[in-house]
Structure 1
Amino acid sequence: MLSYVLVCAIAFLAGCLSGVIGTGASLILLPVLVPMFDPARAIPVMAIAGLMANAARVMAWHREIDWRAVLAYALPGVPAASLGALSLVHLPAAISGTLLGIFIILLVPLRRYITHCNITIGPAGMAVAGAVVGFLTGLFLSTGPLSVPAFLAFGLVKGAFLSTEAASSIFVQVAKVLTFYQAGALTSDLLISGLIIGCALMAGTFFTKRYVIKMSERSFRLMMDAITLASGLWLTLVGLFG
C-alpha cells in the first residue's frame, strides 16, 4: 500500500511536468515502475496511465487541437505501435529493460540533431514520424522527446502542441493497450494499477495548465534532456544488474 502511495505522489509530479512540456511522465515513472513490476509488466501499466494523462491534456486544450496533424500522425502510427508492442511482449524481461534504458539515453542526441536541422514538415512528414515513433513507442514506450520535434516542425506551439500531440498519442496508445490485452500481457491487476496511477497523472496535468505559457523553449529542452538521461541510465542499470 505504501509503495502505491509513493508511486501516486511521483505520478502527480510527473503529471505536472507533462502538463507543462507535453511529455516526460513515462520517463519519470518507468524507473519507479520497472523495479516494482519488471519491464514486461511495467510497460502495460504505464501504457494505461499514459493514455489517461494524454486524455487529460486533450480535455484541458481541446479547442486548439489540429486534427489534420492528428490524422496524419495516427493513421500509420496505430499499426506501427501494435507491431512494436508485439515485439516487446516476446522479449525477455532483462533484455527489454536494458534496451529500454539504452534507447532512452540515445533520445537525447537524436532529439538535439532533429531540432538542430530546423526542419519544417507537412502531413506527409507527420505520417513518416507517426510510423517510426509509433513502432518505437510500442517497443520502448518512452518516445515523447522524439515526437516533440515533429509536432513543433508542423508549426504547433503551447496549447495547440500539447493537445495535438496528446490526441495523436491516444490513438497510438489505444492500439498498444489492445495489443497487450490480446497478447495476455495486460491482466486485471495491471489494469487497476494503471488506472490508479493514471488518476494521479491526470490530477498533475490539470494542476499545471496555468503555467504552460511561462516556460521558455530553452528551459524545456534542458529539463527534458536531464530527465531523459537520468531515466535511461537508471533503467539500463536495472536491466543489467536487477
Structure 2
Amino acid sequence: MAGVLSGVIGTGSSILLMPVLVILYGPQQAVPIMAIAAILGNLGKVLSWWREIDWKACAAYCVTAIPGAMLGVRTLLALPPRVIDIALGVFFVAMIPARRWLARRPIRFSLIHLSFIGAFVGFLTGIVVSTGPITVPVFIGYGLVKGAFLATEAAGSLAVYGAKVSVFEHFGALPVSVIVNGLITGTSIMLGTFAARRVVTRMSPNTFRLVVDGLMLSSGLSLLFAASR
C-alpha cells in the first residue's frame, strides 16, 4: 500500500510506515530500517521511469544533500529515543502548513537553488527519515512533472538514503535484524511502485494534496502519542 501511494504521488511510503516501525522496533531501529526500505522503494521508481530522469537537477541536489544527510544521521545517533519520537511527530505535523505555503507561491527554482536546498533537506532527511513533502514542491518548482518529477526525485533520494545507510553501518547501527527488516519492507514498497505506474496520471492535484496532508497529520499524531507513553 505504501509503495503504490509513493509511486503515484512521489512520496508517502515513509510517512505511512514510520509510525508502525517505531511502535514495533523503536525509533533508533526504525530509522535505519526505513532508510534501507527507501533505497529499494526509490530504486523501483528510478527503474520504472529511467528515461525521464533530469540528471542535471539530480546532481545539483545530491552534491549538497548527501553530505547533509550524513551529518544528520550522526546527529540522530546522538539523540535519545524519546526526543526522536517527538521530533518526528512535530516534523510531520509542521510539514502540512509548510508544504501548503510552498505550493501557493509560484517559485521557479534553478540548479543553484536545488544545491542550496539540498544541504538543508539532506540534513533533515538524516534525522527525520522522510522529507518528501518538502522535495515535492521543490522539484516541481524546478519545472519537473509526472514521470520526470517522480524519476528525478527518486534518483536524488536514492543517493541520499544510500549515504544514510553507509553512516549507519559505519557506526554499528545496522545489525542483521535491521537489514532483514529493511529489505522485507523495501521489497514490498518496490513492488508497489511498479504497480502505481498505471494510475500515476489519474490522481487530481487536489486529491494529491489531501492525501499527503492526511498522511502527515495521522503519522505525526501517532508518533507524538508513542512518545507520550
Instruction: Give the alignment's TM-score, normalised by structure 1.
Output: 0.93
**Equivalent of 1:146 in 128, 134, 140:** 134
Indicate yes or no: 2:173 matched with 1:195.
no
**Equivalent of 2:174 in 179, 186, 208:** 186
How many residues end up aligned between the 2 structures?
Answer: 229
Is the 8 Å Cα contact of residues 81 and 138 (structure 1) preserved in structure 2? yes
Following superposition, the deviation at residue 240 of structure 1 comes to 2.0
Looking at structure 2, the residues matched to 184 and 238 of structure 1 have their Cα atoms a distance apart, in angstroms, of 25
- The one-character-per-residue Cα deviations of 1:162-209 (angstroms, maximum 9, x if unpaired) are 000000001111111111111111111100110011111111111111
Structure 2 stretches lacking a partner, 5+ long = none
Q: How does 1:30-109 map to 2 (within 5 A)?
A: 30-109=18-97
Following superposition, the deviation at residue 57 of structure 1 comes to 0.0
State the match for 1:124 in structure 2: 112
State the match for 2:6 in structure 1: 18
Q: How does 1:155-234 map to 2 (within 5 A)?
A: 155-234=143-222
Indicate yes or no: 2:35 matched with 1:27.
no
Letter of the structure 2 residue corresponding to residue 104 of structure 1: F
Is the 8 Å Cα contact of residues 129 and 147 (structure 1) preserved in structure 2? no
Looking at structure 1, the residues matched to 212 and 203 of structure 2 have their Cα atoms a distance apart, in angstroms, of 12
- Match of 1:208, SS state, is helix
Looking at structure 2, the residues matched to 215 and 235 of structure 1 have their Cα atoms a distance apart, in angstroms, of 28
- The one-character-per-residue Cα deviations of 1:5-36 (angstroms, maximum 9, x if unpaired) are xxxxxxxx000100100100000001110011
Looking at structure 1, the residues matched to 107 and 182 of structure 2 have their Cα atoms a distance apart, in angstroms, of 36
4+ runs of 1 displaced by more than 3 Å? Answer: none
Looking at structure 2, the residues matched to 111 and 127 of structure 1 have their Cα atoms a distance apart, in angstroms, of 19
Q: Percent identity?
A: 46
Is the 8 Å Cα contact of residues 64 and 159 (structure 1) preserved in structure 2? yes
- The one-character-per-residue Cα deviations of 1:49-79 (angstroms, maximum 9, x if unpaired) are 0110000000000000000100000010000
Letter of the structure 1 residue corresponding to residue 153 of structure 2: E
